[in-house]
Amino acid sequence: MIDLIKKFPETPVLVIGDIMVDRYITGKVRRISPEAPVPVVEIAEEELLLGGAANVVNNILSLGGRVFVAGVAKVLL
């Protein structure tokens, strides 16, 4: 196992998948919407992080690996 770990930086990895950005919103719920039973959130902070295959690529790079990525990115407004 140790030999495999030592070879990791020189072994190319191909990641295929959806390339996403995850959006996290934090805040406080001040009230429940009168139109539907859902909370109305006062946004305090918003964070964008890599998701899907992009997160896997980021993790491989953080471990010192060589990575190639193929995937689809869709922009939603």
pLDDT digit string (tens) for 13-69?
Answer: 999 999 999 999 999 998 999 999 999 999 999 999 999 999 999 999 999 999 999
For 48-71, the DSSP string reads EEEEHHHHHHHHHHHTT-EEEEEE
Identify the pLDDT of residue 43.
Answer: 95
Identify the pLDDT of residue 65.
Answer: 95
Categorize the per-residue pLDDT at 76 as very low, low, confident or very high, splitting at 50, 70 and 90: confident
Identify the pLDDT of residue 23.
Answer: 94
Task: Report strand pairing: 12-32 vs 66-72.
Answer: parallel
Categorize the per-residue pLDDT at 71 as very low, low, confident or very high, splitting at 50, 70 and 90: very high
- Sort residue 17 into left (φ over 0), alpha (ψ -120 to 50) or beta: left
Q: Can you give the residue ranges of every domain in the chain?
A: 2-72
Instruction: Compute the distance between CA of residue 11 and CA of residue 50 in angstroms, rounded to an integer.
Output: 23
Residue matched to tokens 């429940």: 32
